[in-house]
Chains A and B, each alone.
Chain A
Amino acid sequence: MSLKTNVTYYPAMPSAFKDKLLSDDFVITSEISPPKGVDVSSAFEEAGLVGNYVDAFNVTDNQRAVMRMSSLAMGRLLKEQGLDVILQLTCRDRNRLALQSDLLGAYALGMENICIMSGDYPTKGDNPGTKPVYDLDSVQLLGATSRLEGGYDIAGNPLESVPSFTKGAVCNTEPDQPLQLMKLEKKARMGIDFFQTQAVYDIGHFETFMDSISHMEVPVLAGLIPLKSAHMARFMNDKIPGIRVGDELIERMEASTDPAEEGLLICAEQIRELRKVCRGIHLMPIGHYRHITALFEIAGLHEKN
């Protein structure tokens, strides 16, 4: 048997997603969760439902500290379906060796778009006894990524070949939280191509936030979670940091005979407003994929070529 094998190397193409960020088009990303198992068919199905409307899929990394298939594997499989992918990478699960090695691996597998975050603490998830890592924080990981792009690892050792990423990070949209803004500034200083925000419900409030960060000139994708019920809105207000659903929206949800439909209408209205104030949206449908096509159509977002 010959030891010669056909090695397939997938150097990342110039990022189509980055081109979109730099264009005048309204950018749409959506979240895809890898399965808690080994069968990716339902994730494929969800991605397929909205694939024609979406510029890139954000593949979550053990989100809410719930153990699932790796985002790296899921991302590569979506890529093979012809979809563009943004790989989430949390600081919770890996030390600096693993983070850097996954970044290089992601690039070699054709995934040049990454989105970096601290990650929810393990006690919030389904393996609460996990040893938390947090060897780097999100600012430091962005710095390490820039360093890889400069040809060196975090310890200063030279790389044999060099990646080039499109780098994103997450933020809350609280203009009155000096610490959150300070951290956002630090992320921008480390080199960043886009911010993806926590779910936005109050457009006026979001505009104030956009004004407060306008000096950074970083493209912002506003997070959107369609409401399903008044109960869900109240729950998020109480339990999810950085989310603020106003009384007016909660009253609309309560008064509606079809709250899920009302939630989509509200979301579509928000999308129309957000088109005027930021570069795009990041949709977190949480199990709502079947209705997202309708949402896009109501919001006036049509299938892409």
Chain B
Amino acid sequence: MIISSSKSFEEILENLDNPGKIFVLGCGVCATKLHVGGEPEVEAMCRKLREAGKEVIGGGVAKAACSIKSKESLLENDPAIEKADTIIVMSCGSGLSVVSSLVDVPVHPATNTDSLGGYSEGHVRKDLCAMCGSCIADFFGGVCPTARCPKGLMNGPCGGAMEGKCEVDPDGDCAWELIYLRLKEIGRLDLLERIFEPKEYNG
């Protein structure tokens, strides 16, 4: 799941320069689950824009903004989009990019795209994966250091962790502490001895 968070309404307004007729498009997948781009959020956005004196001609939620097949299928969703001078997209950056490639008017994001993560046990879990290709998370008990250690250290923790907490976010767990606990739990502490070569970024 792509983790997105809402931009402040002030920032969205600031970026609208003579927007003309606005259409607000949400996304039915991650953004809906995270409550940053589902139907209630799209409705609220339309209302707030109108209250701010903007002309809103419609709003809707695409099934999945990142995989809208064509301009025709975008219009099937709501033909009003064709009359829009500006589209505000409430999805991740890939959803916004797909929408932008299908229309010929300015497209603005209403969310910030934070990371690849998950949502379980009632909590949003950010930064679970760095999408680096060639996955080796199994050597780290399923806790990816590239994604979850701010320094991406593959051969052990930095000297900055204190009592299992991260140097960068003292309220957050040190990824290496999590790796250690998990490997201990599954009886594979031997994996800690392996030296990992630098990551290749060319494929």
Binding site for B on A (CB under 8 A): 91-92, 96, 117-118, 120-121, 123-124, 132, 134-140, 143-144, 154, 170-172, 178-180, 182-183, 185-186, 189-190, 198, 241-242
Q: Tell me the bound Cα distance from A135 to B151 in angstroms.
A: 9
A179 B168 Cβ-Cβ under 8 A: no
Partner pick for B180 among A92, A140, A179, CB 8 A cutoff: A179
B159 A118 Cβ-Cβ under 8 A: yes
B interface, size bucket: 20 to 34
Q: A154-B198, A180-B159, A186-B156 are known contacts; what are 4 more A-B pairs with Cβ within 8 Å?
A: A120-B167, A134-B152, A140-B198, A186-B195
* Residues from chain A with Cβ under 8 Å of B193 in the complex: 182, 185-186
Known contacts A179-B180, A182-B192; is-contact A134 B159 (Cβ 8 Å): no
Q: Tell me the bound Cα distance from A227 to B193 in angstroms.
A: 37
A179 B159 Cβ-Cβ under 8 A: no
| Interface hits, B146-203 → A, CB 8 Å | 150-162, 167-168, 176-177, 180, 192-193, 195-198
Q: Tell me the bound Cα distance from A120 to B159 in angstroms.
A: 9
Q: Tell me the bound Cα distance from A120 to B25 in angstroms.
A: 42
* Residues from chain B with Cβ under 8 Å of A135 in the complex: 198
Partner pick for A186 among B155, B159, B168, CB 8 A cutoff: B155
* Residues from chain A with Cβ under 8 Å of B160 in the complex: 118, 120-121, 241
Work out how many contacts link A and B, with CB atoms closer than 8 A. Answer: 78
* Residues from chain B with Cβ under 8 Å of A120 in the complex: 160, 167
- A290: min CB distance to chain B, Å: 29
Interface secondary structure of B, over-half rule:
loop
* Residues from chain A with Cβ under 8 Å of B153 in the complex: 118, 134, 137
B159 A242 Cβ-Cβ under 8 A: yes
B180 A171 Cβ-Cβ under 8 A: no
* Chain B residue at minimal CB-CB distance from A121: B168
Per-position 1/0 for B81-111, Cβ under 8 A of A: 0000000000000000000000000000000
B159 A182 Cβ-Cβ under 8 A: no
Q: Tell me the bound Cα distance from A180 to B150 in angstroms.
A: 17
24 A-B pairs in the complex with CB atoms less than 8 angstroms apart: A92-B151, A96-B198, A118-B153, A118-B158, A118-B160, A120-B167, A132-B151, A137-B156, A139-B156, A140-B198, A143-B197, A170-B159, A179-B176, A179-B180, A180-B156, A180-B159, A182-B156, A182-B193, A183-B155, A183-B157, A186-B155, A241-B159, A241-B162, A242-B159
